[in-house]
Amino acid sequence: MKKIAVILSGSGVFDGTEIHEAVLALLAIEQQGASWHCFAPNIDQYQVINHLTGEVSHETRNVLVESARIARGNIFDVATLNINDYDALLVPGGFGAANNLSDFALHGSACQINEDVKQACQAFAQANKPAGYLCIAPTLIPQIYGPGAKATIGNDPDTAAAFNAMGGEHIQCPVDDFVLDQKRRLLTTPAYMLATNISEAATGINKLVRELIKLA
């Protein structure tokens, strides 16, 4: 059975992992006959958002602890991820990818990636193992794969411009499809960058995961 490492960034679209994307991805992995194994950085969230009101909540939450909600407790510190144990990588989106895994939401093309997350993702790249990034998570790609990496965040012009400014090559993509950089064995899909409901998000995610497992 193929084993897929999944890196989460908290719990909730506005300050962590986009939960629908994560659950759809985990379900798709199982439906393709593979197993998922969740990881997250053991750090404080950049901020906590009240998802009912949209307001900033003045409290501190831990990314690993919050991610454990999605993984039902079956999760480990990303610093312990040994890529020799896994066949592929998947990173869902949500603001946590741009605020906790990196600081892209704050600094755009001048962003930095959390060091443990960067090392784990680069290890998959260097081992030529396939990886899939959903929604806003592809903004991590230029710093992981270097200049020329092809990926999509859908069609948002500002995010696409930042992606290109970091050395990537952005490709527009509809919600029900994915982009494959064959040279790098790298897959991306817009998911909730474009999706207006769960079903739309599922179309591209299911296709991406199917291809990810095939490449693995």
The partner residues of 75 in beta bridges, in order of sequence, read: 38
Whether residue 111 lies in the annotated active site: no
- CATH code: domain of residue 122: 3.40.50.880
Residue 164: its pLDDT value, please? 98
| Helix pair 198-215, 19-31: axis angle to 10 deg | 40
Residues spanned by the domain of 199 = 3-215
Q: How many domains does the chain have?
A: 1
Instruction: Give pLDDT tens digits for 8-46.
Output: 999 999 999 999 999 999 999 999 999 999 999 999 999
Catalytic residue among 38, 111, 121, 135: 135
Nearest to 90 by CA among 176, 162, 18: 18
36-71 pLDDT, tens digit each = 999 999 999 999 999 999 999 999 999 999 999 999
